[in-house]
Amino acid sequence: MNTDPAALIRARYGNLPFEPPQEIAPGLAAILDRRVTRRYRPDPVPEPLLQTLLAAAQSAPSKSDLQQYSIILIQDPAKIAAIADWIGSMPWIKDAPVFLLFCGDMRRGQRICELHGREHANNNLDTFLNTAVDASLAMGACIAAADAVGLGTCPISYVRSHIEKVAPLFGLPKGVYPVAGLTLGWPETRNATAVRLPQRAVIHR
């Protein structure tokens, strides 16, 4: 992994728009060097490491600490292949030994209210946004953790285009919906660094 701050910033923006610190922590370097992986080795991800990555995902911040998301862990090659076939344009998904489905989960809170005989008063757009953001934050933390240990990932938003197939395949109950999938595995090769918009277009002071 490249750990030279100036080289990392130059690769991310296509130039060096500012002078970064001369030294940065390895975790920050891993985030700056992040790139999608679309070719995976067949080697499995060891179970202790996989569970630790999921713990990292659960370490993400959450709206009011309600943790309104669920993660479906998929290691069955046939089910991973089904997702790839539905999408059609990403056959390499089949090569990933792990596929994670990050879901917004309104059902858990609804179920807790039901068990206590209370009305769930938040079946609204705000709860939808909270669940979607919670799932997204968890996925981001998982991606950062995977990068830190040399694993590769690629978010798959197309799962939302096939909710009518994805939901029954994984038994998603009412109130649980896919936000994005994530392929996970050891990289065969790494994609080039994706150049981002300049900070002046995104950051406003």
Taking the chain (205 residues) in runs of 10, the rounded mean pLDDT of each run is 90 94 92 93 96 98 91 97 92 95 90 86 85 97 94 94 90 93 94 91 94
Residue 201 half-sphere exposure toward CB, CA atoms < 13 A: 5
According to DSSP, residue 149 is labeled T
- The C-alpha atoms of residue 15 and residue 135 are separated, in whole angstroms, by 33
Q: Which amino acid is at 140?
A: G
Q: Cα–Cα distance between 183 and 81 in angstroms, integer?
A: 12
The pTM score is 0.91
Structure-derived torsion over alpha carbons of residues 181, 187, 189, 190, reported in degrees to the nearest 10: 60
Q: Tell me, what's the pLDDT at 150?
A: 92
Cα 98 versus chain centre, distance: 12
State the DSSP code for 170. Answer: T
Tokens at 39, concatenated? 């070719």
The residue among 27, 37, 29 whose CA lies nearest residue 4 is 29
- pLDDT given for residue 113 in this prediction: 81
What pLDDT does residue 182 have? Answer: 98
Phi-psi region of 14 (alpha: psi -120 to 50; beta: other; left: phi over 0): left
- The dihedrals phi and psi of 93, each to the nearest 5 degrees, come to -55, -35
- pLDDT reported for residue 123: 79
* CA distances for 154 relative to 50, 66, 88, angstroms: 16, 26, 16
> Residue 23's Cα: distance from chain center in Å?
28
Residue 186 is predicted with a pLDDT of 97
For residue 119, what pLDDT is reported? Answer: 84
Nearest partner of 188 among 143, 150, 144, judged by Cα: 150
Name every residue whose Cβ is closer than 8 Å to that of residue 200 and which is 6 or more positions away in sequence: none
* pLDDT value for 93: 95
